[in-house]
Structure 1
C-alpha cells in the first residue's frame, strides 16, 4: 500500500469522519502509522480531532520509546490546559500515567491517574482502572491488582464495553499466572481472546494477551501450543512496532527454548529481548531480559555466566524497583547459580533475599484482603459484619476450648490404656501359667478399645453433620480421622500375632486407603509406601500414626486443588536407635499448601507428638511438599 493510500486509511481531513482511530476504527496499516499521526495532528483545525490524534500518538509511542511518548504527552497537556479542556487534559493524564509506570515512577503514575479519574467520563474509567491495576501489580500487590481488574470487569460489563472486558480478563489471566494458578489463568486468557477476536482489531492488548496465553501453556508444559501463541504475538508486534510486547515474548521464548534444551535458540531470543528493551530504554524489560538469560544459563549448567547475567539483572533493578515478583525470581536464580558454582555463602545470601521478598509479597496480599472487605460494604454493613465476626470469634474460642478439653480427655484415656497394658505385661511375666488367659484378655482389651474408638469416631461423624459452622464441622471431622487412625492400630494389635507391636507398612497402606476414600480421591491420588516391613511398639506407632494421618489429610486438602492428580509417598526406616519418617507429595507446594507451617490444632498436634518421640521435623517445598522426621526408637523391654 502506497504511503498516500495508507494515510488516507487513517487521516482524511476532507471527509466528515476525518480521523479513523488507530486500533479502534481500523488496524489496516503498518509500522509507519505513528509517522502519519505525527505529521497529521498539527494540521487539524478541530481541537477534539487534534487532541485525539495527539493522544493516540503519545500512547502508542510508549510501545517504542518512553521518552518520546512522554514528550508528546506533555505537549498534549499543555495544549489542553491552554484551551481549558478538562476532559482531554484527564485523557492525556491517563496516557501520562501509563508512561510513568513503565518508567518505574510508580507513585507519580498513581497520583496522575487518580487525578485523571476526576476529569474523564465514565466510559474512560476502565482504562484508568487498568493502568492503576498495573501500578499495583508492579508494586507486588497482586491481590490489589486483582481487585482492580475485577472492578474494571464489572464496570465494563455495565458499559457493555467488550474491549474493556477483554482487557480485564487478560489482566486477571496474567495475575493468576503470577500466582501459579495456571489453569485458571488459561481460562481467563482464552475468554479475553474470544472477546478481542469478536472486535476484529489486532491491537496492543490483543497482542499482549496472546503472550499471556502462551505463558500459561508454557507453565502447563504444553510447549507446542505456547510456541504457536508466541509466534502469533511476534507477528503482530513486528507489524505495528510493539517493542514492549516483543520484548515480553522474546523473554518467554528464552525460557521455552531453554526448557526444550535448544540453548542456541534461547541465546538468540535473549539477544532480541535485550535489543527491544534497550530500544524502549525500559529498565523493567532489561531486568527481566537478563533474568531470563541467567535462568537459561543455569539450566545449561553455565553457572559463572548465569551469575554475571543475574547480577546484571539485579543491578538494573534500582532501589525503588517495585516489582518484588520478578526481583524475587532473580534472587532465587542467583542462589541456584551460586550453589551450582559451589559459592554456598553467596547462595545463602541470595536465597535469604528471595525469602524476604516472598514474605513481602505475601504481606501485601494479606493487607489487600482487609482492604477488599472494607470496600465491599457500606458503613452500616461494615458495622453489622464486625459485630457478627466478633460473635463468631467468641463462639470459635469456646469451641476451641471444648476441643482442647476433649483432646485432654482422649489423652487421659490413652494414658490409662497405656498403664493398663503395662500392668498386664507385668502380670504376664509373673503368672506364666496364666499366659493363655492373659493373651485372650489383652486381645479383648484391644478389641474393645478399637470398638470404643470407633464409637467415638462415629459420634464425631454424626455430630459434625449436625453442626452448621463449617470450621467446627471440619475440626470434628479431623478429630474423627485421628481417632480412627488410633483405632486401626488397636485393630492391628488384636488381629495380629503380637499384642505389643504392629507392622507399619501395612498399617500405612490401610490408613492411606481410608483417608483417600474419605476425600473421594482414589481415582486421582496414589499413595506409595516405599519401605520394608517394620515392627514398632504401640507407644511409638500411635504417635507416628497420628502424625502421618495429619500429613495425609493436609496433602489431600491442599496439595492437589482443582481435582488435579498427584502422588503421596510414605517411608519409615530404622537405623540403629533412630527412626526416619518421610512424607512427601508432588502437589502445588507452599503457596496453596500452608498448614504444615501454620498455627492450627493439627500443626500443634504434630509438633507435640514429635517432641513426645524426642524427634525433630524438617520441611522442604522445592517440588511439592516434603516433611521429614527423625525419632528416637525406644524399644519396649
Structure 2
C-alpha cells in the first residue's frame, strides 16, 4: 500500500515537471521566433536587443487601433525583461523597463510610468550607456504633467537629458529638445530661460541646415508677447510668416501664426493689416477643413470688418461661422460677444436683443468665470446705454466695479467701463462720482494712446530692421560677385603662362570686364545712396508728422477740457443750489489746471515736459482772476526751474489748485486779508518738496475733518498717492500748511531721479502722513 502511494506521487511529480518543461520550451520557441522576425536572425547581442526595443517603440507610434499596437509593444517588453535575466544581457532589462514606462504613458497612466523609467535609468547608469540614460531621463520628464506644481520637475529631467545628448554630439535631438524646453519655460512664465533655449535651438537648426523654422520663430514671438515686448513679438511672428510661406507650409501651425500676427495688428488698431492676416489663416483653415479653426478665423474676420465699418460683410462672416457647425462650448462667450457687437454696430436691435438675452444666460451660468462676466458687463452696458436703459446699465456697472480689482480686464475695456459709469452718474445727477469716473477715463485713455504710440514705433523699428536686412543681403551678394571676379582674374593669370597670345586676349577681356563691372557697381551704389537719402527724407517727414500729431492731440485735449468747462458753466446757470454751483466751479478750476498743461505743450517745441515755475505762475494768475480777491489775499510763488512730464504735472497742478482754493475760501473769514505762500524746492537725495502755507485761521477740529474726508482733501490725498509722495497737513503758528515730498520721474536725457525702494513701498513709507 505504501509502495503504491509512492509510485503515484512519483508519477505526479514526473508529469508536473514534464508539463513545466514543455511550457518553457514553448515560451522559448515563441521568443526565438519573435527575435528572428524582428532582427532577421536569432542573435541576442546588444545590437539585436536595441533593435527589439526600437521595434516596440515604433509599435506605439503606428497608425491603427491602439490595443493592437500596445499588445505588440507589451510582448517585446516582456521578451526584453526575460532576456535581461541572462548573464551579460542586463541592458535588455533596462530597455524592457523603459518600454514598459512608454506603454503606461500611452495608456494614460503617466504617473505610473515614472517608476519603471527610474529603474531603467539606474540599469543604464550601471552599464555606462549614455544615450540610453538620456532616453530614460526624457521619459521620466514626460511622466510629469504641465501643471504648475509639476512643471519644474519636468523641465529638470528634460534639461538633464539634453546635457547627455550634448555629450554624444547628437545636435538634431538637442535642437528639438531645446525648442521643447523653451516652450515649457514659457508655460512656467520663466521668459528669459525660454528665450535662451529657443535661440539655442535656432542656432543648432541653422547649423544642421534646417530652413523650416516657423514653429520656433512663432514660439519666440509668443514669449516676447508675454513679456509685453510688442516690437520683438511682431518681428519674430513676421519671420515665422515669411519662413512658413517660403516653405509653402499650409498646416495648422500657419493658421496659428497668421492669427497671432493679426491679433498684434488688432491691438494697435491697424485693422486693414489685421484683416489681411486673418483672411490668410481662414484660407488655410478651409483648405484643410479644420472646422474649429474655420469658425474662429471667420469670427475674427467678422470683428475686423466691423472695426473697418464694413458691417454687412461682418454680418455675413459671423453667420458663416455660426452656420458651418454648432458653436463649441469653449467658444460660446467669444462668439456671442462678437455677434452682439456686430448687431449693435449695425443697429439691428431685434437681433442684438436676442444676443443680449443669450449673454445673460451665460452670465448667470455658475460655470462662467468672473473674467467672462466682467467682459459681458462692459459689453452689455454699451448696448443698454445705446437703448437708454440706464437702470439695467447701472446694475451691471456696479457689479463690474465690485470685481474690478480682483478681476482686471484689458485697458480698453476698463476705459470703456469708466466712460459708461460717467454717463450713468451724469444721468442720475451724481456729479461727484461722474467727475471721478471722467478723470479715470481720461487717465486710461492717455495710457491707451501711449501704448498705441509705442506699438507704432515698434512697427517702424521692425520695418526698418527688415529693410536693413535686405540691404545687408544685397551687399553680401555684391561682395560675393566681386570675389568671384577676383578668382576669375587669378585663373586668367595662371593661364597666361601657356601662351603669350592667349595672355593678351585674356588680359584685354579681363580689363574690359572689370571696367564694365566697376561701372555697374558704381551705378548700383549711386542708386542705393539715392534710395537711402529718399528713405531718410521719408523718415524725417514721418517724424515731423508724428510731432504735429502729438501737438494736435494736446490741442484737442485742451479744447475738449475747455468745452467741458463751458458745459459746466452753462449747467451752473440753471442751478439754484449754491453747493451744486460751487461744486461745478471747483470742477471748472480743476479742468482749467489740466488744460493749461496741454495748451503749453502744443504751443512749445518740447512735447513731453512742462516747466513747473511757469505753470504755477499761470495757474495762480488764473485763480486770482476767478476768485476776485483783489489785494486782500496775496499769493507768492518760490519755485526753481524744473521740467516735469505730463503724468506728474497734472496731479501736482490739481493739488495746488485744491490747496489754494481752500485757503482763499476758508482761511480768511469775513473778508480778512492774508498771505498764501507756495514753494517748489529741491531737497535731499534728489527729492522735491511742494509747500502751500497760509497765515489764516487754520483748520479747527482737524482730526474730525480728516476723518470725514471732504472732496478737496480726498483729491489731494489721492493725487499725492499718484505721485508716490509723502503728504503732511498740519496747523502751524501762522495758520495751515500742506507739504508734499516726492521724487521726480526720470526724463529722457536727464539724470535718474530716486524713487521709493521696494522695501519702502512694502512698508508704506511713500504714503501720506498727517501731523495733528
TM category, shorter: 0.3 to 0.5
Q: Look at both structures and tell me which one has the larger radius of gyration over its CA atoms.
A: 2
The TM-score, its normalising length taken from structure 1, stands at: 0.43
The TM-score, its normalising length taken from structure 2, stands at: 0.36
